[in-house]
């Protein structure tokens, strides 16, 4: 990034900014953070006063295969945008996270995520004690003013994940152990169908079947006639699978009320995000109609608005995405709220690459997700930044083992893909 008026030079040094400020403050060795579940009075870290010393950000684009409507438009051919975050503690321990902006899905882009992580969120963590999750989250709260909800939540999620990875490595605990829960898994996965014409449906389903998938999620809206035929054909070809329709806010209220019973008749099990999240009365009408369980997705960022939406009787559940809602602290609180209210939650994602997907698997495994998870990173992405790739086979994903997120990141791969990304953008 450059200052106003300067001509940008596409170099890795431009795209990766180091924060080397060291805090002189001495932080306490005990803490009371309920989000990690460690006992107060226990010095888990190898260095009792270890602090976050450095934040590195690596913007990049993962290469992709296949067609997915959210990866079209500007820069689409260059791959799936991601910003990898590296936190380095004063004792040398490293935590990794990942932000996964999608310009066609939210207002956050690769460029804005890089800037906000580098210049706003990142500096707030310098000098902080990484095992005090509440204090670190409070510092992130100070970085940006809220809009309707948490500011830049997709970007922020990268630092939240890196904090959990660092805290886990310092304490020698996995996510599940930090939360006092079982590891869980393996998790069943759902294969994404995003056909542009009905003749594509059978080959797409066959591709999923060949990889062991038996459950499918279909992208619907805005054409209800096409959507009903898509659902009917998918149910015929996958008679016993869980069938999940996701409209991504693409219907208007009248259309959604008309198509929901038809989708139910065609064999759909749940309808996600039929409307934009600000169509409150439309969601209330759909829930009253009761043709299908109505899930919200876009618009649910923090537990605050989720509680409000529940009280307004707008939903039957949520398609959870840690990468959407600021990370694991927010997602975990939302799952617990939904379970306490007797509502449904399904596991989803934003075509998460490896690091973000590892964190998501850790969360869903710890909370014993039963329904198939719509985690389609392995379906569309062709690269990984890990020493040992995530285990995904036969339509299932295994929860990574080990401290923190349970993965080892190959920093040489990270640096190289970031370099390649900006070399491609600089090419004439």
Q: Where are the alpha helices (DSSP H) in 216-350?
A: 224-237, 253-265, 280-289, 303-311, 328-340
- DSSP code of residue 71: G
Please count the structural domains in the chain: 2
Q: Which of 27-31, 202-206, 274-278, 413-417 is least confident?
A: 27-31
In the prediction, which pLDDT does 184 show? 95
Residues 171 and 247 in one domain: no
Tokens coding 85:
């975050």
For the chain, what is the largest distance between any 2 Cα atoms, rounded to a whole number of angstroms?
65
Residues 341 and 277 in one domain: yes
Whether 115 has a pLDDT exceeding 90, the answer reads yes
30 — pLDDT class (breaks 50, 70, 90): very low
Residues 139 and 198 in one domain: no
For residue 7, tell me if it sits in a domain. no
For residue 2, tell me if it sits in a domain. no
CATH number of domain containing 47: 3.30.390.10
67 — pLDDT class (breaks 50, 70, 90): confident
Q: Which of 20-34, 304-318, 393-407 is least confident?
A: 20-34
Q: Is the pTM of this model over 0.95?
A: no
CATH number of domain containing 263: 3.20.20.120
Residues 206 and 150 in one domain: no
Tokens coding 280:
């409150």
For CA atoms 402, 403, 406, 407, the dihedral sign is negative
Tokens coding 277:
């999240």
For CA atoms 170, 174, 176, 180, the dihedral sign is negative
| Residue 420 CB burial class (10 angstroms; 0-12, 13-18, ≥19) | middle
Check if the beta carbon of residue 186 is closer than 8 Å to that of residue 368.
no
Q: Which of 9-13, 179-183, 228-232, 254-258 is least confident?
A: 9-13
Q: How far apart are CA 291 and CA 286, in angstroms?
A: 8
Q: How far apart are CA 285 and CA 248, in angstroms?
A: 18
First-last CA distance in the chain: 19
Check if the beta carbon of residue 247 is closer than 8 Å to that of residue 274.
yes
Mean pLDDT (whole number) for 289-303: 97
Q: How far apart are CA 96 and CA 361, in angstroms?
A: 15
For residue 405, tell me if it sits in a domain. no
Residues 164 and 226 in one domain: no
With H, G, I as helix, E, B as strand and everything else as coil, classify residue 166: helix
147 — pLDDT class (breaks 50, 70, 90): confident
Residues 80 and 132 in one domain: yes
Residues 30 and 133 in one domain: yes
With H, G, I as helix, E, B as strand and everything else as coil, classify residue 401: coil
Which residue, among 189, 186, 191, 183, has the nearest Cα to 363 in the 3D structure? 183
The proportion of the chain whose per-residue pLDDT surpasses 70, expressed as a percent, equals: 85
For residue 207, tell me if it sits in a domain. yes
Mean pLDDT (whole number) for 126-138: 97
- Per residue in 83-108, pLDDT tens? 999 999 999 999 999 999 988 878 89
Please name every residue paired with 96 in a beta bridge, in sequence order, or none if there are none.
86
- Per residue in 185-239, pLDDT tens? 999 999 999 999 999 999 999 999 999 999 999 999 999 999 999 999 999 999 9
Residues 77 and 218 in one domain: no
Check if the beta carbon of residue 165 is closer than 8 Å to that of residue 106.
no
- Per residue in 336-346, pLDDT tens? 999 999 999 99
What are the distances in angstroms from CA 80 to CA 109, 380, 403? 11, 9, 27
Element (H, E) at 96: strand 94-99
- Domain range for 327 is 179-397
Rounded to 10 degrees, the C-alpha dihedral 333/406/144/53 comes to 130
For residue 153, tell me if it sits in a domain. yes
Rounded to 10 degrees, the C-alpha dihedral 279/281/285/287 comes to 70
For residue 281, tell me if it sits in a domain. yes
For residue 6, tell me if it sits in a domain. no
Residues 164 and 97 in one domain: yes
In the prediction, which pLDDT does 3 show? 35
Residues 144 and 249 in one domain: no
**Among all chains, which residue has been given the structure tokens 């300067």?**
6
For residue 129, tell me if it sits in a domain. yes
In the prediction, which pLDDT does 204 show? 96
Residues 271 and 137 in one domain: no
Residues 247 and 374 in one domain: yes
Q: Which of 30-34, 63-67, 133-137 is least confident?
A: 30-34
């Amino acid at each position: 990034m450059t200052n106003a008026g300067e001509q940008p030079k596409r170099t890795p040094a431009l795209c990766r900014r180091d924060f080397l400020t060291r805090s002189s403050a001495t932080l306490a060795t005990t803490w009371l953070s309920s989000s990690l579940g460690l006992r107060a009075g226990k010095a888990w870290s190898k260095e009792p006063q270890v602090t976050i010393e450095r934040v590195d950000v690596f913007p990049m684009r993962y290469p992709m295969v296949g067609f997915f409507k959210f990866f079209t438009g500007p820069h689409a051919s260059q791959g799936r945008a991601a910003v990898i975050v590296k936190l380095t503690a004063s004792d040398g321990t490293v935590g990794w996270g990942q932000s996964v902006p999608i310009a066609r899905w939210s207002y956050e882009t690769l460029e804005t995520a890089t800037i906000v992580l580098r210049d706003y969120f990142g500096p707030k963590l310098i000098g902080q004690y990484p095992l005090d999750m509440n204090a670190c989250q409070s510092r992130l709260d100070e970085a940006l003013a809220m809009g309707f909800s948490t500011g830049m939540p997709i970007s922020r999620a990268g630092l939240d994940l890196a904090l959990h990875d660092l805290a886990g490595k310092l304490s020698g605990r996995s996510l599940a152990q930090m939360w006092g829960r079982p590891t869980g898994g393996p998790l069943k996965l759902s294969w994404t169908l995003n056909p542009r014409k009905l003749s594509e449906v059978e080959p797409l389903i066959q591709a999923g079947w060949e990889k062991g998938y038996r459950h499918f999620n279909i992208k619907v809206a805005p054409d209800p006639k096409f959507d009903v035929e898509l659902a009917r054909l998918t149910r015929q070809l996958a008679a016993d699978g869980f069938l999940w329709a996701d409209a991504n806010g693409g219907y208007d209220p009248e259309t959604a009320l008309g198509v929901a019973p038809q989708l139910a008749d065609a064999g759909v099990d749940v309808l996600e995000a039929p409307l934009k999240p600000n169509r409150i009365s439309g969601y209330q009408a759909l829930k009253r109609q009761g043709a299908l369980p109505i899930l919200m997705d876009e618009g649910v960022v923090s537990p605050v608005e989720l509680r409000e939406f529940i009280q307004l009787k707008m939903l039957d559940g949520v398609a959870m995405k840690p990468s959407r809602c600021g990370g694991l602290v927010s997602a975990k609180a939302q799952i617990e709220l939904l379970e306490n209210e007797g509502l449904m939650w399904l596991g989803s994602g934003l075509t998460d690459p490896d690091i973000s997907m590892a964190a998501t698997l850790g969360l869903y495994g710890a909370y014993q997700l039963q329904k198939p998870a719509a985690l389609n990173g392995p379906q569309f992405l062709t690269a990984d930044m890990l020493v040992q790739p995530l285990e995904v086979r036969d339509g299932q994903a295994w929860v990574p083992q080990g401290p923190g997120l349970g993965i080892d990141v190959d920093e040489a791969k990270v640096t190289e893909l970031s370099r390649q990304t900006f070399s491609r953008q600089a090419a004439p």
